[in-house]
Amino acid sequence: MQHFNPCNVVIEGGNNSDADSPGEPDPERPFPCSVCGKRFTAAFRLKAHMKIHSGEKPHQCSICGKAFLRPYDLKRHLVTHKGEGTSSDPDSPGDPDQGLKPYFCSQCGKRFTAASSLKTHTMTHSGKKPHQCSVCGKCFLRYQDLKRHQVIHKGKTDPHT
């Protein structure tokens, strides 16, 4: 049995390593979230979790300004700037991707080798998801993601035909 809580965290059968079903007392997880009820083994884990609800993102990229909840998310993001230096100008001298990746996103600075990749990427900023499942209506940014999703409907009839 799965429980869905406001944090969009799936809790399988109430036997997560750090969380349990909301409202159930648990001596091993004595720190409950006052917003969603998720329970934690330690106060520092609850404190970190509370940032999800507050929207706080204290770890900011010094190159592009994007902010992250956790330091390791920032660290993973920084790899996308590898070789860029600290200049925010995409045409600045010394950008090693300039020749290899000539297509540049004007919104975030990410570079691409193909115009089609840039076009798909640009939709991530607009929120557009042009590929819709004909069975359930779920939308996807990339066609291949729609095709992978449609496997779950295999054997079901299309209500639109």
Q: What is the mean pLDDT of residues 99-128?
A: 81
Same domain for 21 and 45, yes or no, is yes
- Does residue 14 sit in helix, strand or coil? coil
The per-residue pLDDT for range 54-86, each reduced to its tens digit, is: 888 888 988 888 888 888 888 888 877 776 544
pLDDT at 6 over 50: no
Domain that holds residue 137: 131-161
Band (161; pLDDT cuts 50, 70, 90): very low
Residue 83 has a pLDDT of 60
Band (88; pLDDT cuts 50, 70, 90): very low
Residue 156, in any domain of the structure: yes
**Model pTM greater than 0.85?**
no
Task: Give CA–CA dist 36/126, Å, rounded.
Answer: 30
DSSP H helical segments within the chain, as ranges? 43-54, 71-78, 97-100, 115-126, 143-150
Residue 25 has a pLDDT of 73
Domain count, the chain: 4
What share of the chain has pLDDT > 70, as a percent?
70
Same domain for 160 and 136, yes or no, is yes
Residue 92, in any domain of the structure: no
Same domain for 116 and 135, yes or no, is no
What share of the chain has pLDDT > 90, as a percent?
9
